[in-house]
Amino acid sequence: MKAIVVTDQAAGTAGMKLVERPEPQAAINDVVVQIHASGFTGNELTWPSTWTDRAGRDRTPSTPGHELAGVVTALGYGTTGLSIGQRVFGLTDWYRDGTLAEYMAIEARSLTPLPGDVDFTVGAALVMAGLTAWQGLFEHGRIQAGQSVLVHGAAGVVGSMATQLAREAGAYVIGTGRAAGRQTALDFGAQEFVALDKGALEDVGKVDLVFDVLGGDIAKRSAGVIRAGGTLVTVTGPTEARPSGGLTIDFVVVPDRAQLSELVQRVRDGRLRTNIGKVAALDDAVAALNPTERIKGKTIIRVHS
Ligand SMILES: NC(=O)c1ccc[n+]([C@@H]2O[C@H](COP(=O)([O-])OP(=O)(O)OC[C@H]3O[C@@H](n4cnc5c(N)ncnc54)[C@H](OP(=O)(O)O)[C@@H]3O)[C@@H](O)[C@H]2O)c1
């Protein structure tokens, strides 16, 4: 089968190669999925799990991409709950070969049925952004109707999802980003927008919850705009920043069937939309994932159609 592999950490995405690889086998409780659409997160090649297994041993050549939508083609020993021919989507294990391939083996528990009226491209684009936004707002941020929420990077892939979900939950949403992202953030439902390259973050006043996707200095300064007892949720790694009397929670997204079902239902009834910037075929994926100019929104690779 065709798959993208990486072997050279220093090369970054420029080191991606489309090669022939053996077809995967389904282990206990796995399924094999024929990938129809695959998603890749920009900084995956900096994650240790791309390069080593859980014991720290080299696992290259490894196949990146952790978001998928596709069709089940084989069941491993003992696998229940899914059938051959079923449309599925989900988030894959960081330490296993991923979704930039024609087929992959994946634990059945990581997959959710994808309704027949939802395109594979949309399914793949929903997985990482949708789960990250959901877990950040509802599980870690414990968002409540009537609260004010500051969503950093609100025109981006995760931020646009968080903006829509926070609005639907009854929060007042202030988006941030670069000035060029203002209209996109407002279109996704932000009620106000702060351009971090034009004004100061501190201009927003006080909020109950910050959802941070930018990290660094922005994460640190965000603690200062949170009301006493509020929460800073970040997905960019641990930070020392703490809101006064409140909590800082850094997390990495996990697969969750029930949450993906909730998310895809919102897509079906028009309450939620994905932020897709570019769609390319697997044969063109290396070029698409090494763009010469910045692509706004998610790049989705269509593998089978
Ligand atoms: N921990 C987890 O589980 C998890 C899960 C998913 C994603 N993430 C991380 O979350 C981050 C965001 O991912 P994404 O896919 O949403 O990226 P994205 O689509 O590039 O979104 C980032 C947004 O923030 C804007 N932005 C970036 N730097 C900025 C700055 N210095 N000042 C103002 N605006 C800025 C970007 O604008 P431009 O487009 O103009 O640059 C873009 O609109 C990544 O680091 C990703 O690895 C973590």
As a whole-number percent, the residues of the chain with pLDDT over 70 amount to 100
Task: Say whether 205 sits in a helix, a strand or coil.
Answer: coil
190-249 pLDDT, tens digit per residue, is 999 999 999 889 988 899 999 999 999 999 999 999 999 999 999 999 999 999 999 999
Pairwise CA distance, residues 14 & 285, whole Å: 11
User: Residue 97: pLDDT above 90?
Assistant: yes
Protein residue whose Cα sits closest to atom 13 of ligand 1: 158
Kindly report the protein residue whose alpha carbon is nearest to atom 29 of ligand 1: 177
Q: What is the pTM of this model?
A: 0.97
Q: Which domains does the chain have, with CATH numbers?
A: 2-114+275-302 (3.90.180.10), 128-250 (3.40.50.720)
Residue 270: left if φ>0, alpha if ψ -120 to 50, beta else—which one? left
Ligand 1, pocket-test mutation among 178, 188, 218, 254, most atoms within 8 A of CB: 178
Report the nearest-CA residue for atom 11 of ligand 1: 213
In this prediction, residue 84 has a pLDDT band, given cuts at 50, 70 and 90, of very high
* pLDDT at res. 292: 92
pLDDT value for 200: 87
pLDDT at 102: 98
Kindly tell me if the per-residue pLDDT of 70 is higher than 90: yes
Residue 155 in contact with ligand 1 by CB distance below 6 A: yes
CA distance 32 to 158: 28
158 with 235: CB under 8 angstroms?
yes
- Report pLDDT for 120: 98
Kindly state if the Cβ of 236 falls inside 6 Å of ligand 1. yes
The overall longest dimension of the chain from CA atoms, in Å, is 57
CA distances to 4, 42, 258, 291 from 283, rounded to whole Å, are 9, 19, 33, 15
Residues 111-150: pLDDT tens digits? Answer: 999 999 999 999 999 999 999 999 999 999 999 999 999 9
* Cα–Cα distance measured from residue 65 to residue 106, given in angstroms and rounded to the nearest whole number: 13
Nearest residue (CA) to ligand 1, atom 33? 177
